[in-house]
Copies of this chain bind each other. A is one copy, B any other.
Amino acid sequence: MSKIPHRIYLTEDQMPKQWYNLRADMKELPDPMINPGTGKPATEEDLYPVFCKELAHQEMDNETRYVDIPEEIQEFYKMYRPSPLIRAYNLEKALGTPAKIYYKFEGNNTSGSHKLNSAVAQAYYAKEQGLKSLTTETGAGQWGTALSEACSFFGIPLTVYMVKVSFNQKPFRKAIIETFDAKVIASPSNTTNSGRKILEVDPNSGGSLGCAISEAVETAVTTPECRYVLGSVLNQVLLHQSIIGLESKIAMESINEYPDIVIGCAGGGSNLGGLIAPFMQDKLTGKANPRIVAVEPASCPSLTRGKYAYDFCDTGKITPMAKMYTLGCEFMPSANHAGGLRYHGMSPILSKLFHDGYMEAVSVEQTKVFEAAVFFAKHETILPAPESAHAIRTAIDEALKCKETGEEKTILFGLTGTGYFDMTAYNAYLDGSMSDYVPTDADLQKGFDALPKIPGIQE
């Protein structure tokens, strides 16, 4: 038998021409979004002021199983995709595990992460609708970078509300977003009511993803021919990100492999939902039964310690309410170096699947994550983003379990991105100044107490 290559690249012919919509195969659908104005389920039309029409449709479409990827998006994908499926031979050897470890590496593009997969789609549909500008928020900066690349390519002006902590910590992220012509504003800012309200209470607020979302949405709905785009959480984003899992599955099939365990880091759920999509399909349709594991930071544990409840997607409480695992939209996560995983909620699709027992979740502490990141870098020569390193941590832990039991399991994890803009975090780990913060039950209770009341639905 010939050896499986280190890196498996699909040919352009093998690349998926359709995204896969997980909802079409779910036994029970996620509960509908609630319009906070009416207290009733939101309609597609309710979303038009915020999202462009095609994306509002994708958001609500629970039926269409496969969605054609428009030609122009396929062409863009070919600039940086297929991403490689990599056999981690050297990591396996270093761990001395009988497990076979594969990872899908999404970091080989200038955004440094998988975020570009949905950014291209969202910028494309905005252009098709003839919109004049877009707004968004960014935490760690990966989404902002990705969207600025896409908007620059399609010629759409973009304003990015960047969480102030990141804005200050990552000046180079700001610079790269500006290289692609986008405008970057530190959030909370004085440019919106949501921002001003937060600054009144705390002029030194470092901001949060939820707060930046409020500002970006407010600007979108108050600016003519402007819409808002979001890089995670939403159903439409999971649809676009399914390209990750679809490519992974085709690549694994080409070498006669199938994962026993699929592992992804989980912030809002964009990578995780994309990576697991076709494997979850197999699970939902009874074709296979892989374990599916979400890994989240112990400092922001929405799946492992959150409530499954209706909540706002933003701190300013201007978005529709979604049923999801949440720490409460007022929960302010501690400063943590996995910037992309500091969201109070979780994708409603993933929340429902987790709730219904199709998925496991674990939380990991920051120093353990960086320990895994450095170990991985030394053996696989890729410097991972802190977010991605959450999945590495759990993949290593599972591989070490195999070492104990002697089981030759096949592990697939998502390596969502690179850590080139996260060297402050690596520095903190290396010089020993990094600490592990885990919220107390009392901390969490405050967030739960502030969950919205919806007459007849959530009292």
Contact = CB atoms under 8 A, between A and B. Distances in A.
B418 A110 contact: yes
B421 A153 contact: no
Interface residues of A, number: 44
Nearest to A88: B79
A176 B426 contact: yes
Given A5-B11, A381-B153, A430 B110 contact: no
Interface stretch (A128-136, A371-379, A434-442): A371-379
A407 interface: no
A208 B269 CA distance: 47
Interface string A410-423: 00000000101101
Contact of A110 (B9, B153, B179, B381): B381
Given A5-B11, A420-B420, A430-B178, A80 B381 contact: yes
A304 interface: no
Contacts of A110: 377, 381-383, 418
Interface in A349-386: 374, 377-383
A18 interface: no
B5 A179 contact: no
A423 B176 contact: yes
Contacts of A171: 423
B79 A430 contact: no
Interface in A155-204: 171-172, 175-176, 178-181
Nearest to A170: B423
A78 interface: yes
A175 B423 contact: yes
A152 B383 CA distance: 13
Interface in A20-36: none
B149 A381 contact: yes
A77 B457 CA distance: 58
Contact of A79 (B6, B80, B176, B179): B6
Contacts of A6: 12, 78-79
Given A110-B381, A377-B110, A427 B5 contact: no
Contact of A378 (B178, B180, B423): B180
A355 B152 CA distance: 43
A283 interface: no
A28 B11 CA distance: 43
B179 A383 contact: yes
A34 to B, nearest CB: 38
B9 A5 contact: no
Contact of A78 (B7, B377, B383): B7
Among all A-B residue pairs, the 10 with the closest Cβ atoms: A172-B423, A175-B423, A6-B78, A420-B420, A110-B383, A5-B12, A9-B9, A152-B378, A108-B108, A175-B427
Interface of A: 5-7, 9, 11-12, 75, 78-80, 89-90, 108-110, 112, 116, 149, 152-153, 171-172, 175-176, 178-181, 374, 377-383, 418, 420-421, 423-424, 426-427, 430
22 contacts: A5-B12, A6-B12, A7-B9, A7-B78, A79-B90, A109-B382, A110-B381, A110-B382, A110-B383, A116-B381, A149-B378, A153-B378, A153-B379, A153-B381, A172-B424, A176-B383, A176-B420, A176-B423, A176-B426, A179-B426, A181-B378, A420-B420
